[in-house]
Chain A
Amino acid sequence: MSRDLVTTTEDGLWCEAGGFHIDPWRPVERAVVTHAHADHTRPGSGRYLTAAPGVELVRLRTHADAVVDGLEYGERLTIGGVQVSFHPAGHILGSAQVRIERAGEVWVVGGDYKTGADPTCAAFEAVPCDVFISESTFGLPVFQWPDPEEVAAEVRAWWEGNAANGRTSLLCAYALGKSQRLLAGLLDPPGPIAVHGALDRLLGPYRDQGIELPSTEYASVEVAKEVRGRGLVIAPPSANGTPWMRKFGDVSTAFASGWMTLRGPRRRRGFDQGFTVSDHADWRGLLGAIEATGASRVLVTHGYVDPLVRYLSEERGLQAERLDSRFEGEGDGAEESAGSGEAEGPVVEPVSGPGHGAPEGRS
């Protein structure tokens, strides 16, 4: 067999034949990025290439003068010795799978993806390939997402119930993707909606592309008075329990995440309510997507890697392997800092220890 088109290096996924990295975790010369979440788009690289609908978000994530090129979904570009194209991953606005072809051999890097309906981004598209690189954030059969419309109805009922009791509803969700998806489920809202600053600035790119969202206001002190006791406030999970919440008076808190399907994380996070909403595929979504690609070889990364590899090998007869990466998938929400506007996936703080950025001056 010829050499693998995509391998992992210290810097991230690497396509040697094309001379680029995919979602590198260190600054590189040329980064092809699947989407604008912090664990996939890291600042500092020379040039970025991403799907056209995600260009603006990737730019927000890197820095103002970063060179970010866009490529329409399906459009092919030759880079080095390979052909590259982006295909919708259904994860968040602008999210893409990266298709790489060399001499008839096709690899697809799935990035983060989901197969369920989401009005805020193009739907996942299965791309036929020989080798598929799949995430496995929720790669266990205990994860089965409820119907998103039912969840949207639950959110609305929770909000209305709170308003009836004179409580403000504080809904925590990742600032990029999840929040917009929740908002899109609340067209015709039963009251005013205020948003935390971290996501306020991330709404523009959505509205600019014609994605319909209910009207929202930045949660200033004046707006807080307006929503107090009856409105909905959307904020990153890290805002829960901070002094920032005080301006909303008596609140009921909720967290929207795939992890809310499990009792442990639901209780641990200390929210009054959990809604099961994820921008990642559930177990069936993963299996369905993998099958639809027709790939005979599957490389499994971030999440429940081992069980999914074993299942694909033993039960589906595929050549499945572990691929180590530093992506985070969907964390259960605590590591975000309120002001950073970080999206899906916790920001991992440096853990000091020998060889891991140990502080100077220690013997």
Chain B
Amino acid sequence: MRRFHGLYRALDATSRTSRKEAALVDYFEATPPADAAWAAHLLLGRRGRRAVNTRLLREWAAEKSGLPLWLVEESYDAVGDLAETIALLVPDQGTHGEPEGLAEFIDRRVLGLAGLEPAAQRELVLETWADLDAGERFLFHKLISGGFRVGVAGGLVARALAKVAGVDRATMMHRLAGRWDPTAAAWEDLMSEDEGGDPLRPYPFFLAHAVPAEPAELGDAADFQAEWKWDGIRAQAVRRGSEAVLWSRGGDLVNGGFPEIVEELGGLAPGTVIDGELLAWDGDRPRGFHELQRRINRKSVGKKLREEVPVRLMAYDLLEEGGADLRALPTTERRRRLEALVRAAGLSRLGIAEVVEGESWEELARARSTSRQRGVEGLMLKRRDAPYGAGRPRGDWWKWKVDPFTLDVVLVYAQRGHGRRASLYTDYTLAVWDDGELVPVAKAYSGLTDREIRRVDAFVRRHITDRFGPVRVVEPELVFEIAFEGIQPSARHKAGLSLRFPRIARWREDKSPADADSLDAVRALMGDPS
């Protein structure tokens, strides 16, 4: 536990990839398998579970620190992170013993905690607080709240593990995919030459970069196969042995939300892996993402929802056929095989992503300009002679999204941020005019530079007119241009609509609140898909 905390601190303290990688390699090379397996599991952001009710945790922290509960809450509000707040509030007892290794610590104090009655939980938590220093307590709280995260990309962890195992990064990414439990045996599998692990594991996804401002920089348009960029959930359909599963890009099994697709995939020959997009589908075109959302994170889907939100898998790549890994083949060849396979399968919920014809960048740009009418996000460009890569290597796959919608909006509420931005007012509620009144239409957390954030923070502190819990009402004076991807009707929002992926495009210091857009203008955008 103490060594893992040392690694955590090293990763947290630097933003330099080389130093992070070195810290990871050092740690993994000198760590027993069971601890290493847990460390890899945690660093890769695999799902943790909440072991204790955080309300109880706050109450015990209040009790132990002799503070009223409301002050614990105020502190949390200011710090922006409960694990850190409680770690700081609980008095240091200076009696730090040597805590167990990571695996044993988790087994006893994290997983073990979940099964206890509240009184026994309290006892174990208080005992653990006494054994740890403030930094370790922070980590403990992250682990028992199921919210452990660390600023290290999965690709970097894979690279460090690859180095420790002496294999290349793509091989390690593949070994890491699929289901494995954090055990010493799983660690041995990761490190060894033999093919072990999950028989249904997916391949590492190939991810695209955004095209440069001038797409022609990529070379000849004819070198690329263009497809629509679907606005759904990226997924890999794995059909092996007697099973078929759907993996999300985050490494989760999403079978539960798409039972009819999984059922159909059983009709494919064993040893088939398809890369594609899960979509809510209506006859010949996709429905909005907000409909698909109703299917996400479900364990099962009833008849009613099946009918209300029909779905399909839009296939765009073939990674395995007849049990053979096809990733080294060029795009055109994989595409040819995919078309033949999908056609032969004749499944109603397995579509094939249309190839968008265009010999030149001008033609492709014209096609792209029809994206909104088609309900897609733009174009994907895949180099015709490229293999299917692992992760996000630059050069072969590009996404060319449509330009976002924009609106000028007024800052009306602000709230302190979390994590890196805790203690600054960085979470903004933004409004447009409706009949002389400002109606919130979006919340935005990003888009300003650090410098601008500080200036807005200074403004907020001076122009607070009211307080509701952590929310500060500010004088409506600042105007921002926000960008967003779409508008959905929403009964939950006062404005009757919600914006998709709103973020601040820029601070319009040249505009006054009176220049901001109106709700009618937003409604007009919703009705006008161009």
Nearest-neighbour CB distance to chain B for A290, whole angstroms, equals 16
A262 touches B420 (CB 8 A): no
Among A268, A306, A354, the residue within 8 A (CB) of B421 is: A268
B70 neighbours in A (Cβ, 8 Å): 310
A346 touches B419 (CB 8 A): no
Chain B residues numbered 15-73 whose CB sits less than 8 Å from any CB in chain A: 15, 65, 67-68, 70-71
Q: Given the known A-B contacts A142-B78, A270-B15, A335-B454, are A259 and B509 also in contact in the complex, defined by CB atoms under 8 Å?
A: no
Q: Given the known A-B contacts A351-B458, A353-B477, A362-B512, are A265 and B423 also in contact in the complex, defined by CB atoms under 8 Å?
A: yes
* Given A264-B419, A326-B462, 12 new contacts (CB under 8 A): A141-B71, A141-B75, A141-B88, A264-B81, A264-B422, A268-B424, A272-B14, A273-B13, A314-B68, A348-B455, A351-B455, A354-B512
B12 neighbours in A (Cβ, 8 Å): 263, 267
Interface size, B (range): 35 or more
Among B81, B454, B510, B512, the residue within 8 A (CB) of A334 is: B454
Q: Given the known A-B contacts A264-B420, A264-B421, A264-B423, are A141 and B67 also in contact in the complex, defined by CB atoms under 8 Å?
A: yes
A selection of 14 A-B contacts at a CB cut-off of 8 Å is A140-B78, A261-B88, A262-B79, A263-B81, A263-B84, A265-B423, A267-B419, A268-B424, A268-B450, A306-B74, A311-B71, A334-B450, A335-B454, A353-B477
Nearest-neighbour CB distance to chain B for A145, whole angstroms, equals 12
Task: Give the most central of A264, A335, A348: most B CB within 10 Å.
Answer: A264
B84 neighbours in A (Cβ, 8 Å): 262-263
Interface check A144, CB cutoff 8 A: yes
Interface check B341, CB cutoff 8 A: no
A362 touches B80 (CB 8 A): no
- State A131–B455 Cα separation when bound (angstroms): 34
Residue of A nearest to B451 (CB): A334
Among A270, A315, A332, the residue within 8 A (CB) of B423 is: A332
Q: Given the known A-B contacts A140-B78, A326-B462, are A268 and B420 also in contact in the complex, defined by CB atoms under 8 Å?
A: yes
B450 neighbours in A (Cβ, 8 Å): 268, 334
Interface check B89, CB cutoff 8 A: yes
Q: Given the known A-B contacts A142-B89, A356-B477, are A264 and B71 also in contact in the complex, defined by CB atoms under 8 Å?
A: no
Chain B positions near chain A (C-beta within 8 angstroms): 12-15, 65, 67-68, 70-71, 74-75, 78-81, 84-85, 88-89, 138, 151, 417-424, 450-451, 454-456, 458-459, 462, 467, 475, 477-478, 509-510, 512-513
B420 touches A140 (CB 8 A): no
B80 neighbours in A (Cβ, 8 Å): 264
Nearest-neighbour CB distance to chain A for B527, whole angstroms, equals 30
Nearest-neighbour CB distance to chain B for A326, whole angstroms, equals 7
B79 neighbours in A (Cβ, 8 Å): 142, 262, 264
B513 touches A142 (CB 8 A): no
Interface check A2, CB cutoff 8 A: no
Nearest-neighbour CB distance to chain A for B18, whole angstroms, equals 13
A352 neighbours in B (Cβ, 8 Å): 509
A358 neighbours in B (Cβ, 8 Å): 512
- State A140–B85 Cα separation when bound (angstroms): 10
Interface check A307, CB cutoff 8 A: yes
Interface check A304, CB cutoff 8 A: yes
Nearest-neighbour CB distance to chain A for B473, whole angstroms, equals 15
A150 neighbours in B (Cβ, 8 Å): none
Q: Given the known A-B contacts A270-B15, A307-B74, are A142 and B422 also in contact in the complex, defined by CB atoms under 8 Å?
A: no
- State A335–B459 Cα separation when bound (angstroms): 13
A314 neighbours in B (Cβ, 8 Å): 68
Among B14, B89, B422, B478, the residue within 8 A (CB) of A353 is: B478
B421 neighbours in A (Cβ, 8 Å): 264, 268
- State A201–B477 Cα separation when bound (angstroms): 40
Nearest-neighbour CB distance to chain B for A258, whole angstroms, equals 11
Nearest-neighbour CB distance to chain B for A29, whole angstroms, equals 25
Q: How would residues 325 to 363 of chain A score, 1 for a CB under 8 Å from any chain B CB and 0 otherwise? A: 010000010110000000000101101111110100010
B459 touches A142 (CB 8 A): no
Nearest-neighbour CB distance to chain B for A338, whole angstroms, equals 14
A272 neighbours in B (Cβ, 8 Å): 13-14
- State A356–B467 Cα separation when bound (angstroms): 22
Among B68, B74, B138, the residue within 8 A (CB) of A315 is: B68
A315 neighbours in B (Cβ, 8 Å): 68
A351 touches B512 (CB 8 A): no
B88 neighbours in A (Cβ, 8 Å): 141-142, 144, 261
B423 touches A262 (CB 8 A): yes
Nearest-neighbour CB distance to chain A for B64, whole angstroms, equals 12
Minimum-distance CB pairs A-B, first 7: A264-B422, A353-B477, A351-B459, A142-B88, A307-B74, A348-B458, A268-B420
A346 touches B458 (CB 8 A): yes
- State A326–B151 Cα separation when bound (angstroms): 36
Among A267, A306, A346, A353, the residue within 8 A (CB) of B420 is: A267
A262 touches B422 (CB 8 A): yes
Chain A residues numbered 111-142 whose CB sits less than 8 Å from any CB in chain B: 140-142
- State A349–B507 Cα separation when bound (angstroms): 15
A310 neighbours in B (Cβ, 8 Å): 70-71
B512 touches A142 (CB 8 A): no
Nearest-neighbour CB distance to chain B for A90, whole angstroms, equals 24
B467 neighbours in A (Cβ, 8 Å): 306
Residue of A nearest to B467 (CB): A306
- State A140–B76 Cα separation when bound (angstroms): 10
- State A352–B463 Cα separation when bound (angstroms): 12
Residue of B nearest to A144 (CB): B88
B458 neighbours in A (Cβ, 8 Å): 335, 346, 348-349, 351
A349 touches B455 (CB 8 A): yes
A332 neighbours in B (Cβ, 8 Å): 423
Among A140, A267, A268, A346, the residue within 8 A (CB) of B75 is: A140
Q: Given the known A-B contacts A141-B65, A264-B423, A311-B71, are A354 and B513 also in contact in the complex, defined by CB atoms under 8 Å?
A: yes
A262 neighbours in B (Cβ, 8 Å): 79, 84, 422-423
Nearest-neighbour CB distance to chain B for A20, whole angstroms, equals 25
Among B89, B455, B456, the residue within 8 A (CB) of A141 is: B89
Nearest-neighbour CB distance to chain B for A318, whole angstroms, equals 15
A335 neighbours in B (Cβ, 8 Å): 454, 458
- State A334–B79 Cα separation when bound (angstroms): 19
Nearest-neighbour CB distance to chain A for B318, whole angstroms, equals 42
Residue of B nearest to A140 (CB): B75
Residue of A nearest to B511 (CB): A362
B74 neighbours in A (Cβ, 8 Å): 140, 304, 306-307
A307 neighbours in B (Cβ, 8 Å): 71, 74-75
- State A304–B461 Cα separation when bound (angstroms): 11
Residue of B nearest to A273 (CB): B13
Residue of B nearest to A334 (CB): B454
- State A354–B513 Cα separation when bound (angstroms): 9
- State A268–B417 Cα separation when bound (angstroms): 12
B477 touches A354 (CB 8 A): yes
B513 neighbours in A (Cβ, 8 Å): 354
- State A45–B418 Cα separation when bound (angstroms): 41
